[in-house]
Structure 1
């Protein structure tokens, strides 16, 4: 990564999501393993046990999607990867990079009152988010100069 590149990923959500995903896999695997016939008359098969483990993996995968956001900015523009999907925005379309009061994450202002959320720069990250916004704005100033 060169000096003219900014790369940002959220921090706090990663510290929370990864342990939660691990716990989900372990708990569902344990429940699947302990799933047996009950005195109530319910009959659980091996397929039910496997399904419980698979359900834990699916839920953990869903939680891990929260760790996916990333922002990469360089001289050509911004690459914004959110939970689902990635967008490339060139600097000539960018009217501003803002962090509105009370917003959970930053955003790129585009023409016609449109915007793209930057989920990689989250309010919960505090000083990390402030530093990321400063680096991003500094990069834009050097490109505009």
Structure 2
């Protein structure tokens, strides 16, 4: 999904850059304006691709989640539960004091794969905490 959106964004900005020279708005657009539009498209496409970096790694000791930019590791003893609330776009870790941490790598659009991932994470959590 991220790749398709990134390509679409870049294509739109390239088309706008090409059509910018011929616009009849009274403003004068030059090559630098066109290059800037392509540059903005590249930045937006690259920003979109950051969402494709989401990852989850879990073992008997804990779980490491990398969302957009940062990775964070939790020991299973810090996690109350792994949940996927109704209507949510992705899974999350329930933490103490009503906090939670989103797991962008497990998304609702993945359907059965998301169900299997949440079940596997719950099994690891249960085995590690004895609950």
TM over 0.5: yes
CA contact (8 A) 1:71 1:118 kept: yes
For the 8 Å contact 1:37–1:43, the answer to whether it is kept is no
Q: 4+ residue stretches of structure 1 with deviation over 6 A?
A: none
Equivalent pair of 1:79/1:87 in contact (CA under 8 Å): yes
Give, in whole Å, the separation in 2 of the partners of 1:44 and 1:143. Answer: 62
In 1, Cα distance between equivalents of 2:126 and 2:5: 40
Unaligned runs of 5+ in 1: 1-15
Q: 1:113 to 1:40 in 2, by over 3 A?
A: closer
Residue segments in structure 2 that go unaligned for 5+ positions in a row:
none
Q: Which has the higher contact order (CA 8 A, sep 6+)?
A: 1
Task: Choose the corresponding residue for 1:102, options 72, 78, 87.
Answer: 87
Shift of 1:94: 1.2
- Give me the TM-score of the superposition, normalised by structure 1: 0.77
**Where does residue 67 of structure 2 map in the other structure?**
82
**Count of residues in Structure 1 that have an aligned counterpart in Structure 2:** 130
Residue deviations 1:113-137, cap 9 Å, x none? 2211112111222111101011112
Aligned partners of 1:103 and 1:34: how far apart in 2? 40
Aligned residue in 2 for 1:133: 118
| TM-score normalized by the length of structure 2 | 0.84
